[in-house]
Amino acid sequence: MSGGGSSANQVRLLLVEDVPQVAQYVRGLLNAQSIIKLLDVISDGTKAPAQILQLRPDVVIVDALLQGRMKGLGLVEQLAAAEPRVPVIVLTVPQQPVSADPERGIDGVLSMPFSGYDLVNRIQEVHKRAQERSHAGQARMITVFAPKGGVGTTTIAFNLAVATGQQGARTVLVDGSLQFGDLRALLKVPADAPSILDLPTDRITDADLSDVLWRDPSGIDILLAPPRIEMAEMVTTRDVDKVVSILRRAYEAIVVDTASYLTDVTLGFLDQADLILELVTFDVTTIHNTIAMAGTFRAIGYPPTKVQYLVNRADSSGGIAVEDLARSIGRIPEHTVVSDGQLVVRSNNEGVPFVLAAPDAAISQDVVRVAASLVGAGRAAVGAAR
Ligand SMILES: Nc1ncnc2c1ncn2[C@@H]1O[C@H](COP(=O)(O)OP(=O)(O)OP(=O)(O)O)[C@@H](O)[C@H]1O
Ligand SMILES: [Mg+2]
pLDDT tens for each residue of the chain, 386 residues long: 333 444 556 899 999 999 999 999 999 999 989 999 999 999 999 999 999 989 989 999 999 999 999 999 999 999 999 877 899 999 999 999 999 998 899 999 999 999 999 999 999 999 988 877 765 556 689 999 999 999 999 999 999 999 999 999 999 999 999 888 889 888 888 888 999 888 776 666 777 788 899 998 888 999 999 888 888 888 888 888 888 988 888 899 999 999 998 999 999 999 999 999 999 999 889 999 999 999 999 999 999 899 999 999 998 877 777 788 888 888 899 999 999 999 999 999 999 999 999 999 999 999 999 999 998 654 443 333 33
Local structure of 151: helix, strand or coil:
coil
- C-alpha–C-alpha distance, residues 198 and 212, integer Å: 7
The pLDDT, as a whole number, for residue 378 is 46
Ligand 1 centroid, distance to 293 Cα (angstroms): 20
Answer yes or no: are the C-beta atoms of 308 and 371 closer than 8 Å.
Answer: no
Q: What share of the chain is helix, strand, coil (3-state, %, to 5)?
A: 45, 15, 35
**Best CA proximity match to 58, nearest among 16, 27, 12:** 12
From the CA of 312, give the closest atom in ligand 1: 1
Q: How many CB atoms lie within 10 A of CB 183?
A: 25
Task: Determine the Cα–Cα distance for residues 42 and 23; give it in Å rounded to an integer.
Answer: 9
Residues 122 and 167: their CA atoms lie apart, in Å, by 37
For a mutational test of ligand 1's pocket, the pick from 175, 178, 290, 344, i.e. the residue with the most ligand atoms closer than 8 A to its C-beta, is 344
Residue 32: per-residue pLDDT:
87
How many Å lie between the centroid of ligand 2 and the Cα of residue 154? Answer: 4
Q: What pLDDT was estimated at residue 163?
A: 97
- Residue 257 CA, closest ligand 1 atom number: 22
**258, 248, 245: which is closest to 183 by C-alpha?**
258
Q: How far is the CA of 278 from the centre of ligand 2 (A)?
A: 13
* Cα–Cα distance measured from residue 295 to residue 36, given in angstroms and rounded to the nearest whole number: 26
> What letter does residue 101 receive in the DSSP assignment?
B
Q: Whose CA is nearest to atom 19 of ligand 1?
A: 152
Q: What is the model's pTM?
A: 0.68
Q: Order of strands, edge to edge, in the sheet holding 214-215?
A: 214-215, 221-223, 171-176, 253-258, 140-145, 275-280, 307-312, 335-337
Residue nearest (by alpha carbon) to ligand 1 atom 31: 345
* HSE value, Cβ hemisphere, 13 Å, CA-based, for 119: 27
Strands 140-145 and 36-42, how do they pair? unpaired
Measured in Å, residue 258 CA sits from the centre of ligand 1 at 13
pLDDT on residue 383: 38
Tens of pLDDT, residues 214-265: 998 888 999 999 888 888 888 888 888 888 988 888 899 999 999 998 999 9
**By the 8 A CB rule, do 288 and 319 touch?**
no
Residues with CB under 6 A from ligand 1: 146, 149-155, 177, 182, 260, 312-313, 337, 339-341, 344-345, 348, 363
CA distances from 159 to 150, 220, 282, 343 (A): 16, 11, 21, 12
Instruction: Write down the H helix ranges in the chain.
Output: 20-31, 48-55, 72-81, 116-135, 153-166, 182-187, 206-212, 237-250, 264-272, 284-300, 322-329, 341-350, 354-357, 362-371, 377-385
Whole-number Å distance, alpha carbon 177 to ligand 2 midpoint, is 7
